[in-house]
Chain A
Protein backbone atom coordinates (compact mmCIF):
# COMPACT_ATOMS: atom_id res chain seq x y z
CA UNK A 1 0.00 0.00 0.00
CA UNK A 2 2.67 2.58 0.85
CA UNK A 3 4.41 1.84 -2.47
CA UNK A 4 1.15 2.51 -4.33
CA UNK A 5 0.77 5.88 -2.66
CA UNK A 6 4.36 6.82 -3.40
CA UNK A 7 3.93 5.83 -7.02
CA UNK A 8 0.98 8.14 -7.56
CA UNK A 9 2.26 11.12 -5.61
CA UNK A 10 3.54 14.07 -7.64
CA UNK A 11 2.26 15.51 -9.85
CA UNK A 12 -1.14 14.48 -8.47
CA UNK A 13 -2.04 17.01 -5.80
CA UNK A 14 -4.74 14.85 -4.28
CA UNK A 15 -2.46 11.88 -3.65
CA UNK A 16 -0.72 11.87 -0.27
CA UNK A 17 2.86 10.72 -0.05
CA UNK A 18 3.87 8.48 2.82
CA UNK A 19 6.29 10.55 4.84
CA UNK A 20 8.13 9.60 8.01
CA UNK A 21 8.12 11.61 11.21
CA UNK A 22 11.74 12.23 12.17
CA UNK A 23 11.35 14.29 15.35
CA UNK A 24 8.50 14.95 17.76
CA UNK A 25 8.53 17.81 20.30
CA UNK A 26 5.89 18.54 22.93
CA UNK A 27 5.51 22.35 23.01
CA UNK A 28 2.76 22.55 25.65
CA UNK A 29 -0.06 20.42 27.01
CA UNK A 30 -2.05 20.80 23.78
CA UNK A 31 0.55 21.71 21.18
CA UNK A 32 3.23 19.60 19.56
CA UNK A 33 5.69 19.98 16.72
CA UNK A 34 7.02 17.29 14.41
CA UNK A 35 9.44 17.20 11.54
CA UNK A 36 8.73 15.22 8.41
CA UNK A 37 11.40 14.01 6.01
CA UNK A 38 9.87 14.10 2.53
CA UNK A 39 11.32 11.86 -0.14
CA UNK A 40 12.73 14.91 -1.92
CA UNK A 41 13.30 18.50 -0.81
CA UNK A 42 10.01 20.37 -0.84
CA UNK A 43 10.47 24.12 -1.38
CA UNK A 44 7.82 26.27 0.22
CA UNK A 45 7.06 29.90 0.94
CA UNK A 46 6.62 31.03 4.56
CA UNK A 47 2.90 30.92 5.29
CA UNK A 48 2.05 28.00 3.02
CA UNK A 49 0.39 24.86 4.37
CA UNK A 50 0.37 21.13 3.85
CA UNK A 51 -2.44 18.60 4.12
CA UNK A 52 -1.52 15.98 6.72
CA UNK A 53 -3.31 12.67 6.73
CA UNK A 54 -3.52 10.57 9.88
CA UNK A 55 -4.21 7.15 8.47
CA UNK A 56 -7.64 5.84 9.28
CA UNK A 57 -8.72 9.09 10.89
CA UNK A 58 -8.61 11.93 8.39
CA UNK A 59 -6.75 14.78 6.79
CA UNK A 60 -6.31 18.39 7.97
CA UNK A 61 -4.53 21.51 6.71
CA UNK A 62 -1.53 22.51 8.79
CA UNK A 63 0.71 25.49 8.13
CA UNK A 64 4.39 24.80 7.84
CA UNK A 65 6.17 26.14 10.92
CA UNK A 66 9.77 25.41 9.91
CA UNK A 67 12.53 27.08 7.96
CA UNK A 68 11.92 27.52 4.23
CA UNK A 69 15.68 27.48 3.73
CA UNK A 70 15.73 23.85 4.84
CA UNK A 71 13.16 22.31 2.50
CA UNK A 72 14.46 18.79 3.12
CA UNK A 73 12.66 18.96 6.45
CA UNK A 74 9.00 19.95 6.82
CA UNK A 75 8.08 21.10 10.30
CA UNK A 76 4.50 21.41 11.50
CA UNK A 77 3.18 22.68 14.82
CA UNK A 78 -0.26 21.44 15.73
CA UNK A 79 -2.80 21.98 18.48
CA UNK A 80 -4.74 18.86 19.38
CA UNK A 81 -8.32 20.04 19.11
CA UNK A 82 -10.05 17.29 17.09
CA UNK A 83 -9.75 13.62 16.16
CA UNK A 84 -7.19 14.12 13.38
CA UNK A 85 -4.94 16.52 15.25
CA UNK A 86 -5.18 14.30 18.33
CA UNK A 87 -4.16 11.29 16.21
CA UNK A 88 -1.21 13.24 14.81
CA UNK A 89 -0.28 14.06 18.39
CA UNK A 90 0.09 10.34 19.16
CA UNK A 91 2.73 9.86 16.46
CA UNK A 92 6.34 9.31 17.31
CA UNK A 93 9.58 9.39 15.36
CA UNK A 94 9.51 6.68 12.70
CA UNK A 95 5.74 6.75 12.21
CA UNK A 96 4.33 7.86 8.89
CA UNK A 97 1.77 10.43 7.82
CA UNK A 98 0.24 11.17 4.45
CA UNK A 99 1.57 14.44 3.07
CA UNK A 100 0.19 16.67 0.34
CA UNK A 101 1.45 20.11 -0.47
CA UNK A 102 2.67 22.72 -0.05
CA UNK A 103 -0.40 24.72 -0.99
CA UNK A 104 -1.65 28.27 -1.02
CA UNK A 105 -0.31 31.79 -0.96
CA UNK A 106 2.18 32.64 1.79
CA UNK A 107 3.43 35.75 3.55
CA UNK A 108 4.72 38.61 1.34
CA UNK A 109 8.31 38.31 2.54
CA UNK A 110 9.76 39.52 -0.77
CA UNK A 111 7.30 42.38 -1.08
CA UNK A 112 8.16 43.47 2.46
CA UNK A 113 11.81 44.16 1.66
CA UNK A 114 12.72 47.72 2.58
CA UNK A 115 9.77 48.05 4.95
CA UNK A 116 9.42 47.90 8.71
CA UNK A 117 7.80 44.53 9.37
CA UNK A 118 5.39 43.69 12.16
CA UNK A 119 4.31 40.13 12.88
CA UNK A 120 1.46 39.56 15.29
CA UNK A 121 0.55 36.04 16.35
CA UNK A 122 -2.06 34.78 18.78
CA UNK A 123 -2.04 31.29 20.28
CA UNK A 124 -1.08 28.64 17.73
CA UNK A 125 -1.00 31.53 15.21
CA UNK A 126 2.69 32.01 15.96
CA UNK A 127 3.41 28.74 14.14
CA UNK A 128 2.55 29.94 10.60
CA UNK A 129 4.50 33.13 11.32
CA UNK A 130 7.66 31.34 12.40
CA UNK A 131 8.89 30.64 8.84
CA UNK A 132 8.52 34.37 8.13
CA UNK A 133 10.51 35.16 11.28
CA UNK A 134 13.26 32.76 10.14
CA UNK A 135 13.21 34.44 6.75
CA UNK A 136 13.47 37.94 8.20
CA UNK A 137 16.32 36.94 10.48
CA UNK A 138 18.19 35.32 7.61
CA UNK A 139 17.73 38.36 5.37
CA UNK A 140 17.75 40.93 8.18
CA UNK A 141 19.61 43.64 6.27
CA UNK A 142 16.91 43.77 3.62
CA UNK A 143 14.27 45.02 6.05
CA UNK A 144 13.71 48.01 8.27
CA UNK A 145 12.70 47.58 11.89
CA UNK A 146 11.23 44.21 12.76
CA UNK A 147 8.81 43.60 15.61
CA UNK A 148 6.97 40.50 16.77
CA UNK A 149 3.99 40.45 19.13
CA UNK A 150 2.82 37.14 20.48
CA UNK A 151 -0.21 36.54 22.67
CA UNK A 152 -1.13 33.37 24.51
CA UNK A 153 -3.45 32.25 27.30
CA UNK A 154 -0.90 31.62 30.03
CA UNK A 155 2.89 31.21 30.28
CA UNK A 156 2.36 27.43 30.15
CA UNK A 157 0.70 27.78 26.74
CA UNK A 158 3.62 29.55 25.09
CA UNK A 159 5.17 27.68 22.19
CA UNK A 160 8.73 27.84 20.83
CA UNK A 161 9.86 28.94 24.30
CA UNK A 162 13.61 28.55 23.75
CA UNK A 163 13.39 30.44 20.46
CA UNK A 164 11.41 33.22 22.10
CA UNK A 165 14.34 33.66 24.48
CA UNK A 166 16.76 33.60 21.58
CA UNK A 167 14.75 36.17 19.63
CA UNK A 168 14.47 38.35 22.73
CA UNK A 169 18.26 38.49 22.84
CA UNK A 170 18.62 39.12 19.11
CA UNK A 171 19.88 42.65 18.37
CA UNK A 172 17.70 44.84 16.24
CA UNK A 173 14.71 42.58 16.74
CA UNK A 174 11.72 43.58 18.90
CA UNK A 175 9.72 40.90 20.65
CA UNK A 176 6.84 41.40 23.09
CA UNK A 177 4.96 38.47 24.56
CA UNK A 178 1.66 38.94 26.38
CA UNK A 179 -0.35 36.33 28.21
CA UNK A 180 -3.95 36.71 29.29
CA UNK A 181 -3.28 35.63 32.85
CA UNK A 182 -0.25 34.55 34.81
CA UNK A 183 1.01 33.54 38.20
CA UNK A 184 3.22 35.77 40.33
CA UNK A 185 6.45 34.47 38.79
CA UNK A 186 5.69 35.92 35.36
CA UNK A 187 7.32 39.30 34.86
CA UNK A 188 6.35 39.82 31.23
CA UNK A 189 3.31 41.54 29.82
CA UNK A 190 -0.15 40.44 30.89
CA UNK A 191 -3.17 41.57 28.92
CA UNK A 192 -4.49 41.56 25.41
CA UNK A 193 -1.85 41.51 22.70
CA UNK A 194 -3.10 44.34 20.47
CA UNK A 195 -2.33 47.28 22.83
CA UNK A 196 1.31 46.21 22.73
CA UNK A 197 1.49 47.55 19.18
CA UNK A 198 2.10 50.95 20.74
CA UNK A 199 5.25 49.57 22.39
CA UNK A 200 6.91 48.64 19.10
CA UNK A 201 9.11 51.04 17.21
CA UNK A 202 8.07 51.29 13.57
CA UNK A 203 7.00 53.81 10.97
CA UNK A 204 3.32 53.20 10.19
CA UNK A 205 3.68 54.88 6.80
CA UNK A 206 6.43 52.47 5.89
CA UNK A 207 5.34 49.24 7.53
CA UNK A 208 3.96 45.88 6.48
CA UNK A 209 2.09 43.77 9.02
CA UNK A 210 1.37 40.06 9.06
CA UNK A 211 -1.25 38.69 11.45
CA UNK A 212 -2.21 35.15 12.34
CA UNK A 213 -4.48 34.03 15.16
CA UNK A 214 -8.11 33.72 16.12
CA UNK A 215 -10.27 35.73 13.72
CA UNK A 216 -11.54 38.04 16.45
CA UNK A 217 -7.91 38.91 17.20
CA UNK A 218 -7.15 39.41 13.52
CA UNK A 219 -10.00 41.90 13.16
CA UNK A 220 -9.07 43.84 16.30
CA UNK A 221 -5.37 43.92 15.41
CA UNK A 222 -5.96 45.00 11.82
CA UNK A 223 -8.16 47.86 13.03
CA UNK A 224 -5.52 48.91 15.56
CA UNK A 225 -2.89 48.90 12.81
CA UNK A 226 -5.12 51.01 10.59
CA UNK A 227 -5.71 53.41 13.47
CA UNK A 228 -1.95 53.67 13.87
CA UNK A 229 -1.63 54.62 10.21
CA UNK A 230 -0.65 51.36 8.50
CA UNK A 231 -2.27 51.13 5.07
CA UNK A 232 -4.87 48.37 4.83
CA UNK A 233 -3.19 47.15 1.64
CA UNK A 234 -0.03 46.49 3.68
CA UNK A 235 -1.76 44.37 6.30
CA UNK A 236 -1.78 40.65 5.59
CA UNK A 237 -3.85 38.11 7.48
CA UNK A 238 -3.74 34.32 7.49
CA UNK A 239 -7.26 32.93 7.38
CA UNK A 240 -8.54 29.58 8.43
CA UNK A 241 -11.58 27.82 7.01
CA UNK A 242 -12.68 24.26 6.41
CA UNK A 243 -10.07 23.29 3.83
CA UNK A 244 -10.43 19.84 2.29
CA UNK A 245 -9.01 19.49 -1.22
CA UNK A 246 -6.50 22.35 -0.86
CA UNK A 247 -6.62 23.13 -4.57
CA UNK A 248 -9.83 25.14 -4.92
CA UNK A 249 -11.97 22.32 -6.34
CA UNK A 250 -14.21 21.17 -3.53
CA UNK A 251 -15.46 24.57 -2.33
CA UNK A 252 -15.38 23.72 1.36
CA UNK A 253 -13.24 26.74 2.17
CA UNK A 254 -15.04 29.20 -0.07
CA UNK A 255 -15.03 32.66 1.48
CA UNK A 256 -17.19 34.89 -0.69
CA UNK A 257 -15.43 35.03 -4.05
CA UNK A 258 -12.26 33.55 -2.58
CA UNK A 259 -11.04 30.09 -1.79
CA UNK A 260 -8.93 30.18 1.33
CA UNK A 261 -6.85 27.21 0.17
CA UNK A 262 -5.67 28.60 -3.15
CA UNK A 263 -6.21 32.38 -2.86
CA UNK A 264 -4.86 32.27 0.70
CA UNK A 265 -4.43 31.31 3.45
CA UNK A 266 -2.61 34.65 3.51
CA UNK A 267 -4.78 37.47 2.21
CA UNK A 268 -4.35 41.18 1.88
CA UNK A 269 -6.58 42.70 4.52
CA UNK A 270 -8.21 45.28 2.23
CA UNK A 271 -9.47 42.39 0.10
CA UNK A 272 -11.09 40.47 2.94
CA UNK A 273 -12.05 43.18 5.44
CA UNK A 274 -15.64 43.51 4.21
CA UNK A 275 -16.02 39.73 3.99
CA UNK A 276 -14.92 39.35 7.61
CA UNK A 277 -18.02 41.29 8.63
CA UNK A 278 -20.36 38.62 7.20
CA UNK A 279 -21.31 36.12 9.87
CA UNK A 280 -22.71 33.82 7.18
CA UNK A 281 -19.21 33.33 5.78
Chain B
Protein backbone atom coordinates (compact mmCIF):
# COMPACT_ATOMS: atom_id res chain seq x y z
CA UNK B 1 0.00 0.00 0.00
CA UNK B 2 1.38 3.38 -0.98
CA UNK B 3 1.94 5.94 1.72
CA UNK B 4 1.07 9.58 1.27
CA UNK B 5 4.62 10.51 0.22
CA UNK B 6 4.43 7.90 -2.57
CA UNK B 7 1.12 9.29 -3.78
CA UNK B 8 2.49 12.80 -3.67
CA UNK B 9 5.63 11.81 -5.54
CA UNK B 10 3.52 10.71 -8.50
CA UNK B 11 1.58 13.95 -8.74
CA UNK B 12 2.90 16.64 -11.13
CA UNK B 13 2.84 19.06 -8.18
CA UNK B 14 5.83 17.24 -6.65
CA UNK B 15 7.92 17.21 -9.81
CA UNK B 16 11.42 18.40 -8.93
CA UNK B 17 10.74 18.45 -5.20
CA UNK B 18 13.63 17.01 -3.18
CA UNK B 19 12.90 14.05 -0.90
CA UNK B 20 13.40 16.01 2.29
CA UNK B 21 10.90 18.69 1.35
CA UNK B 22 8.52 16.09 -0.04
CA UNK B 23 8.55 14.21 3.25
CA UNK B 24 8.09 17.45 5.16
CA UNK B 25 5.02 18.62 3.21
CA UNK B 26 3.60 15.09 3.10
CA UNK B 27 3.27 15.38 6.85
CA UNK B 28 0.45 17.88 6.25
CA UNK B 29 -1.34 15.66 3.72
CA UNK B 30 -3.73 12.76 3.60
CA UNK B 31 -5.43 10.74 0.91
CA UNK B 32 -9.16 11.24 0.24
CA UNK B 33 -11.77 9.66 -1.99
CA UNK B 34 -14.77 11.74 -2.99
CA UNK B 35 -18.01 10.46 -4.43
CA UNK B 36 -19.81 12.35 -7.21
CA UNK B 37 -21.76 15.15 -5.56
CA UNK B 38 -19.46 15.45 -2.54
CA UNK B 39 -18.45 19.02 -1.76
CA UNK B 40 -14.76 19.65 -1.11
CA UNK B 41 -15.54 23.10 0.23
CA UNK B 42 -18.38 25.61 0.23
CA UNK B 43 -18.37 29.28 -0.62
CA UNK B 44 -17.72 31.43 2.45
CA UNK B 45 -16.46 28.56 4.59
CA UNK B 46 -13.01 28.52 6.19
CA UNK B 47 -10.36 27.70 3.59
CA UNK B 48 -8.15 25.44 5.60
CA UNK B 49 -7.09 23.02 2.90
CA UNK B 50 -6.15 22.51 -0.73
CA UNK B 51 -6.26 19.43 -2.95
CA UNK B 52 -4.10 17.76 -5.51
CA UNK B 53 -6.45 15.84 -7.79
CA UNK B 54 -5.00 12.42 -8.60
CA UNK B 55 -7.93 11.02 -10.58
CA UNK B 56 -11.36 12.42 -11.25
CA UNK B 57 -12.90 15.84 -11.73
CA UNK B 58 -14.15 18.65 -9.53
CA UNK B 59 -16.41 21.51 -10.60
CA UNK B 60 -15.90 25.01 -9.18
CA UNK B 61 -19.30 26.58 -8.89
CA UNK B 62 -21.11 29.66 -7.77
CA UNK B 63 -24.82 29.89 -7.14
CA UNK B 64 -26.86 32.58 -8.85
CA UNK B 65 -30.27 33.09 -7.21
CA UNK B 66 -33.05 32.34 -9.62
CA UNK B 67 -30.68 30.75 -12.12
CA UNK B 68 -29.00 27.98 -10.18
CA UNK B 69 -25.42 26.84 -9.85
CA UNK B 70 -22.92 27.75 -12.56
CA UNK B 71 -19.68 25.90 -13.14
CA UNK B 72 -16.89 28.20 -14.33
CA UNK B 73 -13.95 25.80 -14.09
CA UNK B 74 -13.34 22.09 -13.83
CA UNK B 75 -10.22 20.80 -12.12
CA UNK B 76 -9.05 17.38 -13.24
CA UNK B 77 -6.36 14.76 -12.76
CA UNK B 78 -2.93 16.20 -12.11
CA UNK B 79 -4.19 19.66 -11.17
CA UNK B 80 -4.31 21.78 -8.01
CA UNK B 81 -7.55 22.83 -6.37
CA UNK B 82 -7.78 25.65 -3.85
CA UNK B 83 -5.77 28.83 -3.33
CA UNK B 84 -7.81 30.60 -0.68
CA UNK B 85 -5.81 28.86 2.08
CA UNK B 86 -2.82 30.95 1.00
CA UNK B 87 -4.09 34.40 1.89
CA UNK B 88 -6.04 35.87 4.80
CA UNK B 89 -8.85 35.70 5.70
CA UNK B 90 -8.56 32.07 4.47
CA UNK B 91 -12.12 31.88 3.22
CA UNK B 92 -13.36 29.80 0.26
CA UNK B 93 -14.51 31.92 -2.66
CA UNK B 94 -16.53 29.22 -4.41
CA UNK B 95 -18.15 25.85 -4.02
CA UNK B 96 -16.10 22.87 -5.15
CA UNK B 97 -18.04 19.69 -5.98
CA UNK B 98 -16.78 16.34 -7.20
CA UNK B 99 -18.51 15.48 -10.47
CA UNK B 100 -17.10 11.99 -10.73
CA UNK B 101 -15.35 9.59 -8.39
CA UNK B 102 -12.31 11.60 -7.38
CA UNK B 103 -9.13 10.56 -5.59
CA UNK B 104 -7.10 13.41 -4.20
CA UNK B 105 -4.43 14.38 -1.72
CA UNK B 106 -5.73 16.98 0.71
CA UNK B 107 -3.35 19.28 2.56
CA UNK B 108 -3.97 20.96 5.88
CA UNK B 109 -3.37 24.58 4.91
CA UNK B 110 -2.54 25.78 8.41
CA UNK B 111 0.00 23.00 8.85
CA UNK B 112 1.68 23.79 5.53
CA UNK B 113 1.65 27.55 6.16
CA UNK B 114 3.45 26.87 9.42
CA UNK B 115 6.14 24.84 7.67
CA UNK B 116 6.54 27.52 5.01
CA UNK B 117 6.94 30.21 7.70
CA UNK B 118 9.48 28.09 9.54
CA UNK B 119 11.54 27.36 6.44
CA UNK B 120 11.35 29.94 3.61
CA UNK B 121 12.96 27.42 1.25
CA UNK B 122 9.87 25.23 1.60
CA UNK B 123 7.71 28.31 1.12
CA UNK B 124 9.55 29.15 -2.08
CA UNK B 125 9.11 25.61 -3.38
CA UNK B 126 5.38 25.87 -2.70
CA UNK B 127 5.19 29.28 -4.37
CA UNK B 128 6.90 27.93 -7.48
CA UNK B 129 4.20 25.27 -7.68
CA UNK B 130 1.24 27.48 -7.01
CA UNK B 131 2.02 30.59 -9.03
CA UNK B 132 2.16 29.04 -12.56
CA UNK B 133 -1.31 27.42 -12.43
CA UNK B 134 -2.75 30.49 -10.73
CA UNK B 135 -1.39 32.78 -13.43
CA UNK B 136 -2.65 30.45 -16.15
CA UNK B 137 -6.09 30.38 -14.55
CA UNK B 138 -6.07 34.16 -14.33
CA UNK B 139 -5.23 34.34 -18.03
CA UNK B 140 -7.98 31.87 -18.84
CA UNK B 141 -10.47 33.75 -16.66
CA UNK B 142 -9.68 36.94 -18.57
CA UNK B 143 -10.34 35.16 -21.85
CA UNK B 144 -13.61 33.78 -20.50
CA UNK B 145 -14.57 37.25 -19.25
CA UNK B 146 -14.03 38.62 -22.76
CA UNK B 147 -16.89 36.48 -24.00
CA UNK B 148 -14.84 35.40 -26.99
CA UNK B 149 -17.53 33.21 -28.42
CA UNK B 150 -20.26 35.83 -28.22
CA UNK B 151 -21.78 36.87 -31.53
CA UNK B 152 -19.75 40.06 -31.83
CA UNK B 153 -16.55 38.04 -31.62
CA UNK B 154 -17.65 35.14 -33.78
Contact = CB atoms under 8 A, between A and B. Distances in A.
Interface in B66-84: 68-74, 76
B105 interface: no
A214 B74 contact: no
Contacts of B38: none
Contacts of A153: 147, 149-150
B154 interface: yes
A187 B100 contact: yes
A123 B154 contact: yes
A276 interface: no
A180 B144 contact: yes
B136 interface: yes
Interface in B126-146: 136-137, 139-141, 143-144, 146
A79 interface: yes
A49 B24 CA distance: 60
A183 B63 CA distance: 10
Given A184-B69, A187-B57, A214 B154 contact: yes
B154 A189 contact: no
A190 B72 contact: yes
B143 A187 contact: no
A123 B153 CA distance: 9
Interface string A118-135: 000011100000000000
Interface of A: 30, 79, 81, 122-124, 151-153, 157, 180-184, 186-192, 194-195, 199, 213-214, 216-217, 220
B17 to A, nearest CB: 20
A216 B70 contact: no
A183 B73 contact: no
Nearest to B144: A180
A142 B32 CA distance: 44
Interface of B: 57, 59-61, 68-74, 76, 97, 99-100, 136-137, 139-141, 143-144, 146-154
Contacts of B73: 190-191
Contacts of B148: 122-123, 213-214, 216-217
Contacts, number: 82
B59 A189 contact: no
Given A123-B149, A187-B57, A217 B143 contact: yes
A124 B154 contact: yes
Contact of B154 (A79, A151, A195): A79
A220 B143 contact: yes
Contacts of A122: 148-149
B70 to A, nearest CB: 5
Contact of A151 (B69, B136, B149): B149
Nearest to B77: A199
Nearest to B12: A198
A153 B99 CA distance: 20
24 contacts: A122-B148, A123-B153, A152-B149, A153-B149, A180-B72, A181-B144, A182-B70, A182-B71, A183-B69, A184-B71, A184-B97, A187-B57, A190-B59, A190-B60, A191-B137, A191-B144, A192-B139, A192-B143, A195-B140, A199-B76, A213-B149, A214-B153, A217-B148, A220-B143
Given A180-B72, A181-B144, 7 more contacts: A79-B154, A81-B154, A124-B154, A180-B149, A186-B71, A191-B72, A195-B140
Across the A-B interface, the 3 shortest Cβ-Cβ residue pairs: A192-B140, A123-B149, A214-B148
Nearest to A152: B149
A81 B151 contact: yes
Nearest to B57: A187
Contacts of A188: 74
A180 B76 CA distance: 16
Contact of A183 (B57, B70, B140): B70
Nearest to B70: A181
